[in-house]
Homo-oligomer: A and B are copies of this chain.
């Protein structure tokens, strides 16, 4: 089944069965997006419906594996980070919040499941068909498009469709027979659930078509509440809740009502409610579900403002128009449909997060758990910054400049509301989950500053960055400031941290310089050289150092789980000096040794024992020992530009573009990580990459597209043209900008934003192009 998907994707616009999907010109970029790509194995993306950067991302959840039972992590849960795993055979319902591509998870709030036949209040198990309300489904009765998802729930004979606005999920359920149809509202359900994850759930039946409530959880986000307002297109005929499995001693007071049936106020830790409707065969029941972080009143206002009507098809059209707007920011051309599918699906995945996090009136729950109003900006959440500072934020700084300013303002609001006086690390839903390392908000901010993103106060942002970088209570930072490195015996993952801190410090220095604070620039430039303090000349690798200054023994540069590193081994992390590549080449022994070293990374065989501890990727996600399926290596290929064999950048880029991104459900070789993997593809497919975010430079690689035109503000455009493009022509013979031959391996942001044409001449043989800096 899998191989056929590529074909399916390019012909999407033609085989569409629904009137909504009337034939479009094949230049419609929507035709090249397949949300099912990456839903199998490690991609961890979801196939459901959302508008770009939507607060509501309504998607089918295929399993209910608990994150832990009795406090112990359950490794099987990893497959359901997005709620959906392509290989799963059943769907438990449609929840309204999902992370795209993460390697840890949360969310899956406010699950709805339409059912027919006898009422079942338990999801049952996939292994036991019919054991609960979940349903078997098959991919040949499933469609996933930007802003639209459809599936046949076979156990119930119900055709379920979902679409969305920014804050509202819209469901269309077509029941097979006239009679009683059920809708289950499961607030117990969630992604990465564990028995005590719900702290409270609440449901109010406001009238016979309106239901409100919330789900409050202690999860990856520790103190989080999702409020909802839900309206049905038909009156509820009867409703109820399953008995509370954990009644409190106070429950006796409520006995003056029969609370199991038609009682409008439900509360408890694990609510599941059911609603019955008189349904007619073939005439759908419609449900709109709006979310809010503020309250059920906020959710209801979102619903009434964004979706005042019941026209499902119009909502699909509007969502798809919103997607076209984002996708058309780059007009890509290729003779290879699979390349276009990869490219536009990457564009799609790159616009799923950060997510809007405020009501239509600007109110949102802040990090301090108070309600704030976003003034002059749209507030966003879902900042997976350790991943996304690398290429996704730089991408936004070209094609989403307005939003990028809003992202920075959202980070600064986070800073203002932070008890720790810190910018976000991995923030979601008014929470900091502290996942991963570094202070990479600094990079995202400095990149926006370097690229002239308007709409935020640069000095205020710099102050926040400096405060962040000087927070001695954070993760080895005091030692880093005192000693110039994080001692492994005092703080784990010490090499990864030292290297990433040093890079982030350069971002601060760049920004300080641009704001005219030379003393600060000098201070942080000095800090940015701290990578040298963990380089072990003897082994030739970055290596953990102890508090006494000595290097850690023993040392195995291949083990990802070795002390000193996180989600990358020393082999890969030793290249993590994106801001001083020339110096890195120097300390590693010069251009030739550096080139040899790079080659060996890509050509060596990583033994099974080492691969087994490599995180978040499939075997497809590595080339030798180069781990593309996780982020620390994403810049490495572009370091070839600083070696004696710069042409190898093109070869390796094309190898990764072709091998690690495929137009199939298992086509992503690692977690998409909120769009970072996709952003890598988008840049690299166009032939350049932001190796050092926070600077204005992009490294040149080798495009896989034939042509890409970036729409710029003021009607300008920047076009990348690949002459003599072809599957085997992976080397770059020459590059010219606006007809002038380039003898360098970088272009600048200003050159892009000025508009013009960057022309690559491709060739099948290594080309010793001059690339003096």
How long is the Cα–Cα vector from A199 to B297 in the complex, in angstroms? 22
Q: Mark A261-272, 1 if CB is under 8 A from B, else 0.
A: 011110111000
Say whether, besides A199-B199, A264-B419, A433-B250, A257 and B475 are in contact (CB < 8 Å).
yes
The stretch of A34-42, A200-208, A540-548, A685-693 in contact with B is: A200-208
Most interface-central of A68, A216, A262, A370 (chain B CB within 10 A): A370
A248 interface residue per 8 A CB criterion: yes
How long is the Cα–Cα vector from A72 to B649 in the complex, in angstroms? 70
Contact B247–A71 (Cβ < 8 Å): yes
Contact B205–A250 (Cβ < 8 Å): no
A313 interface residue per 8 A CB criterion: no
**Residues of chain A in range 261-309 having any CB-CB distance to chain B below 8 Å:** 262-265, 267-269, 295-297
Contact A256–B434 (Cβ < 8 Å): yes
Determine which of B200, B250, B265, B371 lies in contact with A420 in the assembled complex, contact meaning CB atoms within 8 Å.
Answer: B265
The stretch of A165-173, A218-226, A650-658 in contact with B is: A218-226
A interface majority secondary structure: loop
Say whether, besides A256-B474, A420-B264, A199 and B196 are in contact (CB < 8 Å).
no
How long is the Cα–Cα vector from A257 to B199 in the complex, in angstroms? 24
Q: Mark A432-448, 1 if CB is under 8 A from B, else 0.
A: 01110100000000000
A661 interface residue per 8 A CB criterion: no
Contacts of A267 in B (CB 8 A): 218, 222-223
Contacts of A250 in B (CB 8 A): 218-220, 222, 433
Determine which of B73, B268, B296 lies in contact with A370 in the assembled complex, contact meaning CB atoms within 8 Å.
Answer: B296
**Residues of chain A in range 14-59 having any CB-CB distance to chain B below 8 Å:** none
A249 interface residue per 8 A CB criterion: yes
A681 interface residue per 8 A CB criterion: no
Q: Mark A338-379, 1 if CB is under 8 A from B, else 0.
A: 000000000000000000000000000000111100000000
How long is the Cα–Cα vector from A67 to B251 in the complex, in angstroms? 13
Contact A296–B434 (Cβ < 8 Å): no
A745 interface residue per 8 A CB criterion: no
Contacts of A460 in B (CB 8 A): none
A194 interface residue per 8 A CB criterion: yes
A246 interface residue per 8 A CB criterion: yes
A197 interface residue per 8 A CB criterion: yes
Contact B256–A475 (Cβ < 8 Å): yes
A553 interface residue per 8 A CB criterion: no
Q: Distance in Å from the Cβ of A503 to the closest Cβ of chain B?
A: 18
How long is the Cα–Cα vector from A265 to B262 in the complex, in angstroms? 41
Contacts of A214 in B (CB 8 A): 369
Q: Distance in Å from the Cβ of A56 to the closest Cβ of chain B?
A: 20
How long is the Cα–Cα vector from A474 to B264 in the complex, in angstroms? 12
Contact B475–A253 (Cβ < 8 Å): no
Task: Specify the chain B residue showing the minimal Cβ separation from A296.
Answer: B370
Q: Distance in Å from the Cβ of A526 to the closest Cβ of chain B?
A: 24
Determine which of B223, B248, B473 lies in contact with A262 in the assembled complex, contact meaning CB atoms within 8 Å.
Answer: B473
Most interface-central of A200, A250, A419 (chain B CB within 10 A): A250
**Residues of chain A in range 209-241 having any CB-CB distance to chain B below 8 Å:** 212, 214, 216, 218-220, 222-223
**Residues of chain A in range 444-475 having any CB-CB distance to chain B below 8 Å:** 473-475
How long is the Cα–Cα vector from A370 to B296 in the complex, in angstroms? 7
Determine which of B206, B248, B297 lies in contact with A194 in the assembled complex, contact meaning CB atoms within 8 Å.
Answer: B248
How long is the Cα–Cα vector from A204 to B421 in the complex, in angstroms? 12
Contacts of A212 in B (CB 8 A): 368
Say whether, besides A257-B475, A296-B368, A296-B369, A205 and B249 are in contact (CB < 8 Å).
no
Contact A200–B200 (Cβ < 8 Å): yes
How long is the Cα–Cα vector from A67 to B253 in the complex, in angstroms? 15
Determine which of B200, B420, B473 lies in contact with A218 in the assembled complex, contact meaning CB atoms within 8 Å.
Answer: B200
**Residues of chain A in range 470-524 having any CB-CB distance to chain B below 8 Å:** 473-475
How long is the Cα–Cα vector from A262 to B223 in the complex, in angstroms? 20
Contacts of A223 in B (CB 8 A): 200, 202, 267
Contact B265–A419 (Cβ < 8 Å): yes
Contacts of A216 in B (CB 8 A): 199-200
How long is the Cα–Cα vector from A201 to B220 in the complex, in angstroms? 17
Task: Specify the chain B residue showing the minimal Cβ separation from A200.
Answer: B199
Contacts of A370 in B (CB 8 A): 295-297
Task: Specify the chain B residue showing the minimal Cβ separation from A256.
Answer: B475
Contacts of A257 in B (CB 8 A): 420, 434, 473-475
How long is the Cα–Cα vector from A420 to B371 in the complex, in angstroms? 28
Say whether, besides A296-B368, A369-B202, A473 and B263 are in contact (CB < 8 Å).
yes
Determine which of B218, B253, B297, B369 lies in contact with A220 in the assembled complex, contact meaning CB atoms within 8 Å.
Answer: B253
Contact B67–A249 (Cβ < 8 Å): yes
Q: Distance in Å from the Cβ of A760 to the closest Cβ of chain B?
A: 43
How long is the Cα–Cα vector from A297 to B373 in the complex, in angstroms? 13
Contact A196–B246 (Cβ < 8 Å): yes
Contacts of A419 in B (CB 8 A): 204-206, 264-265
Contacts of A295 in B (CB 8 A): 369-371
Say whether, besides A200-B218, A473-B257, A249 and B296 are in contact (CB < 8 Å).
no
Contacts of A368 in B (CB 8 A): 204, 212, 296-297
How long is the Cα–Cα vector from A68 to B252 in the complex, in angstroms? 13
Q: Distance in Å from the Cβ of A561 to the closest Cβ of chain B?
A: 15
Q: Distance in Å from the Cβ of A297 to the closest Cβ of chain B?
A: 4
How long is the Cα–Cα vector from A247 to B73 in the complex, in angstroms? 13
Task: Specify the chain B residue showing the minimal Cβ separation from A435.
Answer: B253
**Residues of chain A in range 590-648 having any CB-CB distance to chain B below 8 Å:** none
Contacts of A473 in B (CB 8 A): 257-258, 262-263
Contacts of A420 in B (CB 8 A): 257, 263-265
Q: Mark A128-150, 1 if CB is under 8 A from B, else 0.
A: 00000000000000000000000
How long is the Cα–Cα vector from A247 to B72 in the complex, in angstroms? 11
Task: Specify the chain B residue showing the minimal Cβ separation from A258.
Answer: B473
Contact B200–A434 (Cβ < 8 Å): no
Contacts of A256 in B (CB 8 A): 434, 437, 474-475
Task: Specify the chain B residue showing the minimal Cβ separation from A204.
Answer: B419
Task: Specify the chain B residue showing the minimal Cβ separation from A492.
Answer: B255
How long is the Cα–Cα vector from A247 to B433 in the complex, in angstroms? 15
12 A-B pairs within 8 Å (CB atoms) are namely: A71-B247, A71-B248, A197-B248, A200-B218, A200-B223, A204-B368, A220-B250, A223-B267, A256-B475, A257-B474, A265-B419, A295-B371
Q: Which 4 A-B pairs have the closest CB atoms?
A: A256-B475, A264-B419, A68-B249, A265-B419
Q: 20 additional contacts, CB 8 Å, given A72-B249, A218-B267, A295-B369? A: A67-B249, A194-B248, A196-B246, A199-B200, A199-B216, A202-B369, A205-B419, A218-B248, A218-B269, A222-B250, A250-B433, A253-B433, A256-B475, A257-B434, A257-B473, A258-B473, A265-B419, A296-B369, A296-B370, A297-B371
